[in-house]
């Protein structure tokens, strides 16, 4: 529950320090006094977006601080532990600061936190209901959220939402794979032709260089044969060959060396030359013997080089040719992989769809159990609130999936393809009949503002029994109801406040008289300034404020007596 709210430099508020109590906390004041500014401050404290407009003129920043008792609230403790925020089990201090430039800072127990954490805590601490929320009851899509607010529904909803997200992701993956398959399929014929063309020729690395070299040799075979023949003859085979001449020179050098040792080195050099000439001649002879005259091989090489040149010209070069060949081979493998992946994801989709259908059924059954309680509580509450012939029902319906594709958000329930929504496989709508003999109809077709207010209060009363939220805020939900009904609304709020703490802004004296804590808001204006104050009223001050609500500015003795009776009737 909220113990204390401190507001500084916030719009028209210079400084307010309000203490709240258990049960029913009523805020009253004249129209335009600033009551709703307090609600705005609470909304900002719980994570609503702020702006520089909220900062009081001339101030550097606005500050809103709330002190809460949270004993035993496990959800809040879990959030605090997750974000490593130091705390004890009893007190939680929230603070929000908004600068004159519009920047914002948030603190929990003096530790700075992201604004999202304040929102998370707000979801666990408070339920706001203002006049604008009447309109939410006129929208059927909002009705399911009332049922899902019950604690026993939440785990079933989370399980469903997880499977829904999984199925949606799988369907997106399947669509992506199908698109890739289609793209490959559209190009398949041309790519298959390219792959077959390259694979049939089967080029090899460095093949052209080797063939060019072989071609050069084979095209010059006769010349090579002639040259090697003449070289071998000159060096070794002729009658007056170089070899024979060197042998004769060697004999001369031997004779000279016998006379003068100076010729010994030259004699050895001459012997080396003889050996070298012999080796060259033998290599020329061996080379000549390997030369083949094969015109057909020459044509094969020329044709092969033409094939390779055509591929190279078509695909932009040797490196590009091999890169393209590898790409085409990978495309074939990729197409097979995509096909297998598509088969796997379709199998996974079928499994997830079965699990989602089971989760949808469990969620629906739990909602229906809660709906039965809600129907009973709402009818009982509305009868108390002056609608004795009221009938109220929660209607569940399914939408048949009209599409025929498998890649759609649907589940099979009771043999039907049913549309799967992010929050379940059904629509929920509140139906009501206010008068005898009337058929149940959607809320949007019934109802005055006063009736909608009472229905909303009855739904809140049903929700309060789940004891999930320690605090509820009502901002003038008594608009459009009579004094007699207002008293019944007040008693219902009083009874409701046994579960959560309630803070309610009202103009109805019948409701104000039932306050456990009564706070009056006043606006004081001078020629140069406007200030808002708020005080907790004493017992006698409460009587005067209720009398003011009864009679207006002039508080008569009759109004005071009426106010005392209302307060005593509490």
Q: What is the DSSP string of 346-389?
A: HHHHHHHHHHHHHHHHHHHHHHHHHHHHHHHHHHHHHHHTT-TT
- Count how many domains the chain has: 2
Please report, for residues 39, 46, 77, the alpha-carbon distance to residue 82 in angstroms, rounded to integers and kept in the order given. Answer: 28, 18, 9
Domain assignment present for 222? yes
Residues 101 and 210 in one domain: no
Residues 206 and 118 in one domain: no
Domain assignment present for 88? yes
Residues 66 and 198 in one domain: no
Domain assignment present for 39? yes
Q: pLDDT 10s digit of each residue in the chain, 570 long?
A: 899 999 999 988 889 999 999 999 999 888 777 888 888 898 899 888 888 999 998 899 999 999 998 876 777 888 888 888 887 767 889 999 999 998 999 999 988 999 999 988 887 888 776 655 555 677 788 889 889 888 899 999 999 999 999 999 999 988 888 887 776 665 655 666 676 776 777 777 777 778 777 677 666 677 777 788 899 889 888 888 899 899 999 999 998 989 889 989 999 999 999 999 999 989 988 988 877 766 677 777 777 788 887 787 777 766 777 777 677 666 665 666 777 878 888 899 999 999 999 999 999 999 999 999 999 989 998 888 888 888 999 999 999 988 766 667 899 998 899 999 999 999 999 998 888 888 898 877 765 556 777 787 888 778 776 655 678 888 777 666 677 788 888 888 888 888 788 998 888 899 999 999 999 998 888 777 778 888 999 999 999 998 998 887 788 888 888 888 888 876
Domain assignment present for 370? no
Residues 134 and 216 in one domain: no
Residues 118 and 193 in one domain: no
Residues 133 and 191 in one domain: no
- Among residues 279, 301, 333, which one ends one of the domains? 333
Answer left, alpha or beta for residue 559, where phi above 0 means left and psi between -120 and 50 means alpha: alpha
Helical ranges in 133-241 per DSSP H: 134-137, 143-148, 154-201, 207-219, 221-232
Residues 123 and 17 in one domain: yes
Residues 120 and 243 in one domain: no
Beta carbons within 8 Å of 561's beta carbon, 6+ residues apart = none
Domain assignment present for 113? yes
Residues 109 and 210 in one domain: no
Structural contact between residues 46 and 122, judged by C-beta atoms closer than 8 angstroms: yes
- Among residues 281, 299, 333, which one ends one of the domains? 333
Domain region containing 220: 185-333
- Among residues 333, 356, 382, which one ends one of the domains? 333
Domain assignment present for 570? no
Q: What is the CATH number of the domain that holds 490?
A: 3.40.50.300
Domain assignment present for 565? no
Domain assignment present for 356? no
Residues 189 and 328 in one domain: yes
Residues 99 and 225 in one domain: no
Residues 228 and 102 in one domain: no
């Amino acid at each position: 529950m909220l113990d204390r709210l401190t507001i500084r430099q916030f719009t028209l508020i210079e400084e307010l320090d309000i203490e709240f109590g258990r049960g029913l906390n009523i805020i009253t004041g004249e129209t335009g006094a600033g009551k709703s500014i307090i609600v705005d401050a609470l909304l900002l404290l719980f994570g609503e977006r702020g702006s520089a407009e909220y900062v009081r003129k001339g101030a550097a920043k606005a500050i809103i601080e709330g002190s809460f008792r949270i004993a035993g609230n496990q959800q809040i403790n879990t959030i605090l532990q997750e974000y490593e925020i130091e705390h004890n089990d009893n007190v939680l201090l929230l603070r929000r600061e908004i600068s004159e430039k519009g920047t914002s800072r948030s603190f929990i127990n003096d530790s700075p936190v992201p604004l999202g954490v304040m929102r998370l805590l707000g979801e666990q601490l408070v339920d706001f209901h203002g006049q604008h929320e009447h309109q939410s009851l006129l929208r059927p899509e909002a009705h399911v959220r009332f049922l899902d607010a019950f604690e026993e529904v939440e785990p079933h909803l989370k399980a469903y939402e997880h499977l829904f997200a999984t199925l949606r992701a799988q369907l997106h993956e399947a669509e992506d794979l199908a698109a890739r398959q289609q793209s490959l399929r559209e190009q398949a014929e041309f790519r298959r032709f390219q792959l077959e063309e390259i694979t049939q020729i089967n080029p090899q690395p460095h093949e052209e260089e080797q063939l060019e070299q072989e071609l050069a040799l084979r095209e010059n075979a006769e010349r090579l044969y002639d040259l090697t023949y003449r070289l071998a003859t000159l060096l070794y085979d002729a009658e007056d060959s170089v070899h024979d001449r060197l042998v004769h020179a060697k004999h001369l050098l031997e004779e000279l060396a016998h006379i003068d040792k100076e010729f010994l080195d030259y004699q050895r050099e001459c012997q080396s030359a003889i050996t070298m000439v012999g080796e060259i001649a033998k290599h020329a002879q061996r080379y000549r013997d390997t030369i083949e005259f094969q015109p057909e091989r020459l044509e094969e090489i020329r044709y092969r080089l033409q094939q390779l040149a055509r591929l190279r010209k078509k695909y932009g070069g040797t490196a590009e040719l091999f890169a393209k060949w590898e790409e085409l081979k990978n495309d074939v493998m990729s197409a097979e992989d995509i096909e297998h992946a598509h088969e796997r994801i379709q199998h996974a989709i079928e499994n997830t769809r079965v699990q989602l259908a089971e989760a949808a059924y469990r969620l629906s059954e739990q909602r229906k159990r809660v709906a039965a309680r809600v129907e009973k509580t709402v009818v009982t509450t509305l009868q108390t609130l002056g609608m004795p012939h009221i009938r109220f029902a929660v209607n569940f319906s399914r939408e048949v999936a009209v599409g025929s594709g498998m890649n759609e958000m649907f589940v099979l329930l009771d043999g039907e393809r049913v549309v799967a929504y992010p929050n379940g496989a059904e629509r929920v709508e509140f139906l009501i009949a206010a008068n005898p003999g009337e058929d149940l109809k959607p809320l949007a077709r019934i109802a005055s503002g006063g009736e909608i207010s009472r229905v909303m209060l009855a739904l809140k009363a049903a929700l309060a029994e789940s004891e999930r939220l320690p605090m509820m805020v009502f901002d003038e939900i008594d608009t459009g109801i009579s004094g007699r009904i207002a008293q019944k609304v007040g008693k219902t709020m009083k009874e409701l406040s046994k579960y959560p703490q309630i803070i309610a802004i009202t103009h109805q004296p019948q409701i104000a008289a039932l306050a456990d804590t009564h706070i009056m808001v006043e606006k004081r204006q001078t020629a140069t300034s406007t200030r808002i104050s708020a005080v907790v009223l004493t017992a006698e001050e409460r009587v005067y404020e209720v009398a003011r609500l009864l009679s207006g500015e002039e508080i008569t003795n009759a109004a005071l007596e009426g106010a005392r009776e209302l307060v005593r009737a509490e």
